[in-house]
Homo-oligomer: A and B are copies of this chain.
């Protein structure tokens, strides 16, 4: 592939293997996908609402968030992506982006033309099924997120989000389950849990007063996992 090493998409293969079997031909077909490796700076957009993207991105390093704005400028973050995530098929397949995808820090990603993905899809339906599967899991995380935002109070919301992070970072091998570095500012956290930055600050304070977490700067140490849940 044009990224030069042929292994850039291993992260994707690994991710898809979670959901079902990939035979050797499937794997080969994925590796054969044309793709361009790119570095993006913190804060830059992979996709903007209203774009008509013709590539989909696989995240190799760094974090990205998906978010959307209301008419009067309030932001809601929907999900956070890390290594291996197929960040952008939603937008690409729909041919019209309904939300933004933005880099939280400096990131690396492989960009794959949608046309190649669609072709792969008809040649290797099995791979398509697993990718679909991937978007469905995404949707499931999403529903949990919405439940969180809609029906829990501030402390529970944040606790929930911190647990989700712990879990996913650990699973992706980017931090210990009980001790990790938070990749976002409190303002971004606020946009994720639908609160004000001010209140996020207070709630974090309260969580650590209660002894559930301890934090120094951006690193979180969960001191009472069960309590936090």
Instruction: List chain A positions with a Cβ less than 8 A from chain B.
Output: 68, 70, 74-76, 78, 89-90, 93-94, 98-99, 118, 121-122, 125-126, 128-129, 132-133, 135-140, 142-147, 149-152, 194
Residues of B contacting A125 in the complex (Cβ-Cβ under 8 angstroms): 121-122, 125, 128
B128:A78 contact, CB within 8 angstroms: no
Complex Cα spacing A151 to B73, Å: 10
Q: List 24 A-B contacts (CB under 8 A).
A: A70-B147, A74-B152, A75-B151, A76-B150, A78-B143, A90-B139, A90-B140, A93-B132, A94-B133, A94-B140, A98-B140, A98-B143, A99-B143, A121-B125, A121-B128, A122-B125, A125-B125, A125-B128, A138-B139, A139-B139, A139-B142, A142-B146, A146-B149, A149-B194
Q: Which of B70, B118, B146 is the one whose CB lies under 8 Å from A145? A: B146
10 further contact pairs, Cβ within 8 A, besides A121-B128, A138-B139, A149-B194 = A75-B151, A78-B146, A93-B136, A94-B136, A121-B125, A122-B129, A128-B129, A132-B132, A135-B136, A151-B194
